[in-house]
Amino acid sequence: MKLSQRILQRMTAYPPFYQAVWKACAQIPRGQVRTYGWVARAIGKPRAARAVGQALGKNPFAPAVPCHRVVGADGRLTGFSAPGGVAAKRRLLQREGVLKKTL
């Protein structure tokens, strides 16, 4: 997804690392997920998966920066700071067809 000029301009108020994380996350297509490690590698910081999680936890640009599409290395739904936590992350991914609804 291409970020709007307005969002890109607002991002400049944040550290360059956060900007890089958010821009990489914005490239994850709807209906797909990536890991924190994938994002870290995508920005050239392969050992920074935890820092990626921290940056996504401070994401003020959702849903343009779809941080719900980032999962743990083992595929688990982890770390979602939006209201509703991981349950909200699960619902968003179900709507995108990534996860099947459970009874």
C-beta of residue 67 within 8 angstroms of C-beta of residue 59? yes
- Structure tokens belonging to residue 56: 């996504």
Torsion over CA: 35, 66, 56, 48 (sign): positive
Please give the C-alpha separations between residue 79 and each of 1, 2, 8, 56, in angstroms, as whole numbers: 22, 24, 24, 9
**Which of 20, 28, 43, 67 is labelled catalytic?**
67
Q: Tell me whether residue 67 is one of the annotated catalytic residues.
A: yes
User: At residue 35, what are phi and psi to the nearest 5 degrees?
Assistant: -95, 165
Catalytic residues: 67
